[in-house]
């Protein structure tokens, strides 16, 4: 027989790993392609957090079960089978539970407790199997012990889920701002599963998801009509924009390539498609070509200035995505010099860039400059980011105006 120590360690590892891998693998191709996992856990990290924090409560319940003599008559293989059955039950019930949560505005508590219950359900059989088959004495103060275990299973996941939802809220807002509606819909579905009430573009995730549920089918229908071979460039641009919204990037690129050489809008759209496909060099080349074309008249032409703004922002985004932070800083600094009327925008972006890069003094300098140059637009977001920078590096920063 395996000694108690190794048996328990191996059993606890299996209790978290086996259900986690099975639930994730069976989540469905659509959810997996979107980076999600089995419902109602939304994302793999949330699932992993719940399974790990459920282990103490799983052991408490398993120890209570082992205090009953009939339980010890079941072989370890039987508990493995029960554990697999529990995973199957979650896979069957999870989508319905997740959709029920996602379509309602319960708030975060109800989804948290549902996820906690399901996580404990799938780890308990493995925890029983991990304990040696012997009749155990009931624990003293079982209610208190159970309460502590429940707190360990729920509270850390509540804190982690809240932080995770905050990050995904920013992602959803970014996707909506870039008209990536199909991808935004998936992120919103995950936020709804987590019970997040944080507003995205001034609306709740549930409200936005309902709006997209009405809009996306019409968009798919419109994008399904074939374009005639002699369709004008404007029609092809419109079709490419629809395909981008539907996350059909290869098809969008096919529409845009013949137009990009002579049309700035097409070039910017194609550069954005390449960016989202992580074709950094191709995207950089198109953004640079747009700047060569538009910068000479950016001072007097608002449309040209807007195109340059998009191109500089795109170059900085590409550099960050490709792991070239120095190039991102160079793109933003050049943009600030070439487009002085947009200095507030570039100062704010430089402030975020330096904050992410661990340079708080430079971050504060640029954030304050952005707030001073355009207080109506940047005072509030700059103040929030300054507060975040101060809270993460309090010993390094002298007090000053926000």
pLDDT on residue 2: 46
Instruction: Please check whether residue 227 lies inside any domain of the structure.
Output: no
What's residue 262's pLDDT?
Answer: 87
| Together in a domain, 165 and 77 | yes
387 and 319 assigned to the same domain: no
Residues 84 and 134 in one domain: yes
Does 346 share its domain with 302? no
Q: How many CA atoms lie within 13 A of 70 on its CB side?
A: 0
Nearest to 176 by CA among 194, 165, 188: 188
121 within a domain of the structure (yes/no): yes
pLDDT at 136: 63
Same-domain status, 25 and 167 = yes
User: What is the DSSP code string of 293-304?
Assistant: HHGGGTTT-HHH
How many helices and strands, by DSSP H and E, does the chain display? Answer: 19, 0
Same domain, 315 and 343: no
| Residue-number span of the structural domain to which 79 is assigned | 4-185
Residues with pLDDT less than 50, the chain: 1-2
CB atoms within 10 A of CB 274: 23
Whether 45 and 70 map to the same domain: the answer is yes
**Same domain membership, residue 359 and residue 310:** no
Instruction: Look at residues 269, 288, 323 and tell me which one is the last residue of a structural domain.
Output: 323
Q: Are residues 354 and 380 in the same domain?
A: yes
What is the DSSP secondary-structure string of 196-209? ----BTTB-HHHHH
| Predicted TM-score (pTM) above 0.75 | yes
- Domain count for the chain: 3
Within-domain flag for 197: no
In a domain, 110, yes or no: yes
Query: Does one domain contain both 51 and 117?
Result: yes
End-of-domain residue from the set 169, 185, 201: 185
Domain boundary among 162, 185, 208: 185
Same domain (yes/no): 294, 354:
no
Residue 244 lies in a domain: yes
| pLDDT tens digits, 340-356 | 999 999 999 999 999 98
∠ Cα 114 116 122 (to 5°): 105
> Using alpha carbons only, how large is the chain's radius of gyration in Å?
26
Same domain, 263 and 356: no
């Amino acid at each position: 027989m395996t000694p108690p120590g190794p048996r328990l360690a191996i059993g606890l590892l299996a209790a978290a790993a086996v259900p986690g891998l099975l639930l994730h693998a069976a989540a469905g191709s659509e959810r997996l392609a979107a980076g999600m996992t089995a419902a109602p856990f939304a994302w793999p990290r949330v699932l992993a957090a719940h399974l790990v924090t459920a282990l103490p409560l799983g052991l408490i319940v398993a120890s209570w079960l082992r205090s009953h003599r009939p339980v010890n008559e079941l072989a370890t293989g039987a508990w493995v089978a029960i554990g697999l059955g529990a995973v199957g039950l979650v896979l069957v019930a999870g989508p319905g539970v997740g959709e029920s949560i996602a379509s309602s505005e319960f708030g975060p508590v109800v989804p948290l407790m549902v996820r906690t219950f399901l996580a404990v359900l799938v780890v308990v059989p493995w925890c029983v199997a991990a304990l040696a088959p012997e009749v155990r004495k009931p624990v003293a103060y079982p209610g208190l012990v159970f309460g502590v275990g429940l707190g360990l299973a729920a509270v850390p996941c509540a804190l982690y889920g809240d932080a995770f939802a905050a990050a995904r809220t920013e992602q959803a807002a970014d996707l909506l701002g870039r008209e990536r509606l199909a991808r935004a819909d998936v992120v919103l579905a995950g936020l709804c599963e987590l019970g997040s009430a944080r507003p995205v573009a001034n609306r709740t995730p549930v409200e936005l998801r309902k709006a997209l549920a009405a809009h996306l089918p019409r968009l798919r229908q419109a994008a399904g009509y074939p374009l005639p071979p002699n369709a004008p460039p404007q029609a092809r641009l419109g079709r490419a924009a629809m395909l981008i919204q539907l996350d059909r990037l290869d098809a969008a690129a096919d529409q845009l390539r013949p137009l990009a050489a002579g049309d700035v809008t097409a070039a910017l759209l194609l550069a954005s498609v390449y960016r989202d496909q992580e074709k950094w060099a191709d995207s950089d080349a198109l953004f640079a070509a747009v700047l060569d074309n538009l910068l000479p008249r950016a001072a007097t032409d608002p449309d040209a200035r807007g195109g340059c703004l998009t191109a500089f922002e795109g170059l900085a985004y590409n550099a960050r995505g490709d792991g070239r932070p120095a190039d991102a800083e160079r793109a933003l600094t050049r943009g600030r010099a070439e487009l002085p009327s947009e200095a507030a925008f570039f100062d704010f972006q430089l402030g975020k860039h330096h904050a992410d890069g661990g340079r708080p003094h430079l971050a504060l300098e640029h954030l304050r400059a952005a707030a001073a140059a355009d207080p109506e637009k940047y005072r509030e977001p700059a103040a929030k980011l300054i507060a975040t920078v101060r809270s993460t590096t309090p010993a390094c920063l002298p007090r000053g105006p926000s």
